[in-house]
A and B are shown apart, each in its own frame.
Chain A
Amino acid sequence: MTLATDRVRARPAVSPQLSFLLGQNAIGLGLWGLLAPGAVNRFLGLRTSAQTTRALFGAREMATGIVLFSDPTRVGALWARVLGDAFDIAVLTRLTRRANPQRSNTRLALGVVLAVTALDVVAAWRMSNVKRNRA
């Protein structure tokens, strides 16, 4: 089905859709961290308690995910994600040491987190600089 549309329209902005998708992704990760913290720990070779993983990973991802899912323009939540990414990168970098038998998994996770961090920074920076009103 082809949709007719109007030529009188603005150029589509990328940041709202990107922010919304990041929110959905965060909800998915949040569910993983909240419902299966043991699986997260085993996958990454983490030796923290399930409660710690649930709080520092699952709850954190879920919180920013719900905020961005309900309102993708929330700049604070996007920058909070960037801070969370920095924490994740620090933890995962330590976990890539040879002593960790799951280091191949942590390298994969680190690559994914670095890519998502780039998207978070782009979304946060662009959304922070949107000028909604005009003179």
Chain B
Amino acid sequence: MKAICWQGKKDLRCEDVPDPIILDPKDAIIRVTSTCICGSDLHLMNGFVPTMCAGDVMGHEPIGEVVEVGAEARARGLKVGDRVVVPFQMICGECEQCRAGNYSVCQTTNRNADLAKAFFGDTTAGLFGYSHITGGYAGGQAEYLRVPFAATTVVKVPAAGADEKYLFLSDILPTGWQAAAFADIQPTDTVAVWGCGPVGLFTIQSAFVQGAQRVIAIDDVPERLQMAAGLGAEVLDRSQAKVIPTLKEMTKGHGPEKCIDAVGIEAHGPTAVLELIDRVQTALKLETERPIALREAIMACKSAGTLSIPGVYGGLSNMIPMGALMNKGLTIRTGQTHVKRWTDDLLRRIDEGQIDPTFVVTHTAPLGRGPEMYRKFRDKQDGCIKVVLKP
């Protein structure tokens, strides 16, 4: 079958790979009907995530049809023909973390848990197409996908309706929702969101649904700011204004109560010189990411406020203003998304028409053009915000 494969830093190719087969009674095989390119795929593509190996299959946002089911998965209710969204993480549903709803840190599904423990101090869940530190599982930018722990992992969705209506339940919609939920939004709150990519846009949408009084969207890409404005956000174009003083001005001098970093590892700015300092440090392996949005969010946040971080970080960051964080008494909440904690509620909201996630899709292309679409997405060409690939 065809799949998008990582062959090295910035080197993705659509290649032939072996078809997946059932390896465990808990497995199912999915025929992928739509699959997305995620912002975090760019971090993998650009070599920011260690333990990627040449030949790895990318992708963690697929939807499709079950075509083969292992005995145990069948016994737990999954059957051939079911239409399912596959969340980016696989879960056992039985471990201590799963029972607490902390699905992204499932203790069972990461088959390279020792490596994760060495890097992070404890394991994470197994993730699809997301390096060997999260299990080395093949991803969903392919014609078919093996889903381990299938009965507990997948989200069944109605047979009718476009893929795009449900597809984003795999990652970015619950990620935006969790980002807002972790900010503990109150009706009087102003929420500032760094980054108006797909996760940032869903964060803005979720913040309003969860009751924010004001949302300020921060980016420098005109079409993304326009989309954020369309959701009701006030926009702060960082190419035109300095972020922190402008946020202070917009919030009576104290800053937003809730700040959300939906950018992560590969942020830009605030000036060319300061960005160069981070770039040199990452090249010399003195840090592994450019936490520019995070630094700004800490400095901008109102005292006793909350910082929610859905943006992906993978290793070590320098020059984090710990003094501001501590002395202002900020609360930080972060983590990979516990997808299944939110999907029942979000599926209901989609079916009731309260949330329409399809607005983020700007480009649809055949799977074989995946590498080209990655570059278009990375370089923000042609107004590209979200790419859906069709195997």
Contact = CB atoms under 8 A, between A and B. Distances in A.
A16 B7 contact: yes
A8 B13 contact: no
Nearest to B8: A16
B53 A5 contact: yes
A133 B54 contact: no
A16 B54 contact: yes
Contacts of A130: 11, 13
A9 B5 contact: yes
Given A3-B132, A134-B368, A8 B20 contact: yes
A12 B56 CA distance: 8
Interface residues of B, number: 41
Contacts of B18: 7-9
Interface in B346-391: 368-372
Contacts of B53: 5, 9, 12
A19 B12 CA distance: 15
A16 B368 contact: no
A51 to B, nearest CB: 25
Contacts of A133: 14, 368-372
B387 to A, nearest CB: 14
A17 B146 CA distance: 28
B13 A132 contact: yes
Interface of B: prevailing SS = mixed
A16 B12 CA distance: 10
B232 interface: no
Interface string A56-99: 00000000000001111100000000000000000000000000
Interface string B5-38: 1011111111111111000000000000000000
Nearest to B279: A70
Contacts of A9: 5, 17-18, 53, 55-57, 138
Interface centre among A15, A16, A69 (most CB of B within 10 A): A16
Given A9-B5, A9-B138, A133-B369, A4 B55 contact: no
A13 interface: yes
Contacts of B51: 3
Given A8-B146, A16-B11, 9 more contacts: A1-B114, A3-B112, A6-B56, A8-B17, A9-B5, A9-B138, A12-B54, A13-B13, A131-B13
Interface of A: 1, 3-13, 15-17, 19-20, 69-73, 130-135
Interface of B: 2-3, 5, 7-20, 51, 53-57, 111-112, 114-115, 118, 132, 135-138, 142, 146, 283, 368-372
